[in-house]
Amino acid sequence: MNKLIRAGLKRVFRIKTIYLCLAVLFLIDGFDIMKESLFPEPGRSLPDPEGYLMSAFLTMILLTAVFITSFLGSEYQYGTLRNKIAVGHERWKLYVGSFVVCYSAVLIMYVFVWGMTAVFGTLFLGGFKSDIKELAATGLVSFLAFTLLTALFVLVGLCIQSKSAGSVAAVILAFLCMIAGVMTVQILSAPQFIPADSIPAQFISEYKPVPGDPTLLINPDYVEGNRRKMFEMVHKLCPASQMLTAEEGIDAERVLIPITETVVLFAAGMLVFQKRDLK
């Protein structure tokens, strides 16, 4: 297996995809920080580096899907996987080796984002505004999230033999993950009540007052009941929403859920790959 991993890592650095991914991350993170600092909009205060960090992480979800399925799809396209099996490599070793190689590439992007945001954020934006506990929570949650995403996209890349079909499926999953993450965070963060004095007088008649407290109004955007439970479940399972709310803190559930999802996806992918007829 060590030979498989070494050969895979050499191939990672030989192809252009990893460098294109890093270039994209630089443009939407480091370059944007410099542009915002050197050419600020009039009357607008400089943003915090944390916002750029989350933006880069959301973009990285898509880049992770593209890189992994492109990398593994080429293994099918050029018959590399069939050749490895033909010379005696066991399928479980191929799956584990592919996961390790792809995970290494994802970690390169992950460390690049952290390092770039820290350096450019310190030079141009005055550094992170969050305390060390919030940054540690963000680091742990995002690390687990990208471990989960790697397991998901390796499953797609190795269990769908068509490179184009695998890439399309992974990109769709990445977009769904990003949309679900942003949507659930917005919906669940809406307050149940809003101050009456925050609503213009001409629109206040459209809101229902809270019984017994006329200073508060019922927020029509607040979701409750079974719909709220559904959104909360999606929020807990979605790696994008986990990252977006990482600063809220760490508990056992936030750690155990992504680890469990990763193990399940990894095991399911290996099981399916073992049964695949590699044509």
Q: Tell me if 220 is assigned to some domain.
A: no
Determine the pLDDT at residue 3: 81
Determine the pLDDT at residue 152: 97
Q: Tell me if 181 is assigned to some domain.
A: no
Neighbours of 197 (CB within 10 A): 9
Q: Tell me if 264 is assigned to some domain.
A: yes
Q: Tell me if 199 is assigned to some domain.
A: no
Q: Tell me if 91 is assigned to some domain.
A: yes
Quote the tokens at residue 122.
């310190």
For residues 59 and 112, the answer to whether their CB atoms sit within 8 Å is: no
Determine the pLDDT at residue 278: 66
Determine the pLDDT at residue 162: 85
Determine the residue type at 242: Q
Q: Tell me if 207 is assigned to some domain.
A: no
Q: How many domains does the chain have?
A: 1
For residues 238 and 123, the answer to whether their CB atoms sit within 8 Å is: no
Q: Tell me if 62 is assigned to some domain.
A: yes
Boundaries of domain holding 63: 2-175+250-275
For residues 64 and 155, the answer to whether their CB atoms sit within 8 Å is: no
pTM of the model: 0.91
Residue 118, CA distances (Å) to 23, 47, 114, 244 in order: 17, 14, 6, 18
Residue holding tokens 């992007």? 109
pLDDT per residue, tens digit, the chain (279 aa), is 788 888 888 988 998 999 999 999 999 998 988 888 777 777 667 778 999 999 999 999 999 999 999 999 887 766 677 777 777 778 888 899 999 999 999 999 999 999 999 999 999 888 898 889 999 999 999 999 999 999 999 999 998 888 889 999 999 999 999 999 999 999 998 888 888 777 777 677 777 888 877 788 888 888 888 999 999 999 999 999 999 998 888 888 899 999 999 999 999 999 998 887 765
Determine the residue type at 132: I
Determine the pLDDT at residue 279: 58
Determine the pLDDT at residue 4: 80
Q: Tell me if 217 is assigned to some domain.
A: no
Q: Which of 228, 27, 64 is nearest to 146 (CA)?
A: 64
CA gap 73, 93 in Å, rounded: 18
